[in-house]
Amino acid sequence: MDKQTPLVDMRDIHISFGGIHAVDHVSVDLYPGEVVGLLGHNGAGKSTLIKILSGAYQADGGEIYINGEKAEIHNPRDARKYNIETIYQTLALADNLDAASNLFLGRELVTPIGTVDDDAMEAETRKIMAKLNPNFQKFAEPVSALSGGQRQSVAIARAVYFDAKILIMDEPTAALGPHETQMVSELIQQLKTQGIGIFLISHDIHDVMELCDRASVMKNGELVGTVDVNDVTDDDLLGMIILGKRPEGVTVQG
């Protein structure tokens, strides 16, 4: 990576819950068109770190810079202002609403008199779903009636539709079959070419080796290090995740 301005620069972030350092002075960064994998065991602090960026949690300390400027992110609305979109592991869908209502939740299209324009939203939803998942047909049903893959495409559509510059994907393929996983991989490649920066949280090393440019590994709330995936082997990454051991002979940031 040439040293341009990072899209996201999280510096010295820390947060604790009831005396436990969930994230302990961690710094990570992300450049345009780059995919950075966040690796670690359950409870390593990856999701917590990323929820600070998406506004769901507020850090006890540390700074976030977006495009080199200091950003104040206090809630999910603030994060959306910086074009940060998140696909949560839980998908964060309101099960009782249909796909269009979920896609536009919090950002509804309205008619000139200020009422929500369901027909227009459904039309837009049909357009984007035709690109993302052409088999998707259940526009009238609540999303509780959808399969895991279909729900995932709604969550992805929501993140992609609103011109995300920074995309956070928390275990995007955890609940998916092989075909849908392939779909997500292709989507990530496509978004990269558009200059979008992606944080990909995963505990699947193969995913990370295949999709990511760099990988930041966390253990017990601390950053073990950030490496270029082309410089390391699967075993190097495993060593970082399990033992917290930095690989030798490789440039490690952080």
Partner 1 sequence: MQNQAKNLINKLGLDPRLLGMIGALVAIWVVFGIFTDGRFLSPRNFFNLSVQTASVAVMATGMVFVIVTRHIDLSVGSMLGFIGMAVAALQVQVLPDLVGLGHWSVWIIAVIAAILMGAVLGAFQGWIIGYLAVPAFIVTLGGLLVYRGAMWWVTEGQTQAPLDTTFRLLGGGAEGTLGESLSWIFGIVAALAAVALMLLSRRNKANHGFAVKPAWAEGILLAIAAGGIMGFVWIMNSYPISKGAMKRMTKAQGIEYTDGMVWNHGVAIPVVILLGVAIVMTVIATRTRFGRYVYATGGNPEAAELSGINTRWLTVKIFALMGALTGIAAVIASARLNAVDVGLGTLDELRVIAAAVIGGTALAGGAGTIYGAVIGALIMQSLQSGMASVGVDAPLQNIVVGVVLVFAVWVDIVYRRRAGA
Instruction: State the Cα–Cα distance between residues 207 and 13, nearest whole angstrom.
Output: 26
95 contacts partner 1 (rule: CB under 8 A): yes
Q: Which two tokens stand for residue 244?
A: 């917290």
Give min distance, CB of 18 to partner 1, in A. Answer: 17
For partner 1, which is the closer residue by CB, 16 or 144?
144
Binding flag, residue 122, partner 1 (CB under 8 A): yes
Q: Are 183 and 133 in contact (CB under 8 A)?
A: yes
DSSP string, 79-119: HHHTTEEEE-TTTT--TTSBHHHHHTTTS--B-TTS-B-HH
Closest approach of partner 1 to the CB of residue 155, in Å: 10
Task: With contacts defined by CB under 8 A, name the span among 57-65, 101-109, 208-216, 234-242 that binds partner 1.
Answer: 101-109
Q: Give the pairing of strands 197-201 and 35-39.
A: parallel
**Position 54 contacts partner 1 (CB under 8 A):** yes
Q: Which CB sits closer to partner 1, 33 or 142?
A: 142
Q: Where are the beta strands (DSSP E) in 73-213?
A: 84-87, 166-170, 197-201
Q: Pick one of 18, 42, 72, 90: the residue that binds partner 1 (CB under 8 A).
A: 90
Closer by beta carbon to partner 1, 120 or else 209: 120
Nearest alpha-carbon partner for 44 in 208, 207, 223? 223
Q: How far is the CB of 118 from partner 1 (least distance, A)?
A: 8
**Radius of gyration (C-alpha) of the chain in whole angstroms:** 18
Applying CB under 8 A, the residues found at the interface with partner 1 are 54, 56, 75-77, 80, 86, 88, 90-97, 101, 105-108, 110, 114-116, 119-120, 122-123, 142, 144-145
